[in-house]
Amino acid sequence: AVVSTQSTGGFKALGLEYFFTVGADEVRAWTIQKHTKAPQAAGKIHSDMERGFIKAEVYKYEDIVEHKSEAAVKAAGRYRMEGKNYEVQDGDILMIKFNVTDAKKK
The b/e string for 10-38 (b: 16+ C-beta within 10 A; e otherwise) is eeeeeeebbbbbeeeeeeeebebeeebbb
From 52, 34, 35, select the one nearest 43 (Cα to Cα): 52
DSSP 19: E
pLDDT for res 73: 96
pLDDT of residue 9: 76
* pTM assigned to the model: 0.84
pLDDT score recorded for residue 10: 79
Spatial neighbors of 84 by CB under 8 A, at least 6 apart, are 37, 38, 39, 53
- pLDDT of the chain along its 106 residues, tens only? 555 566 677 778 899 999 999 988 999 999 999 999 999 999 999 999 999 999 999 999 999 999 999 999 999 999 999 999 999 999 999 999 999 987 665 5
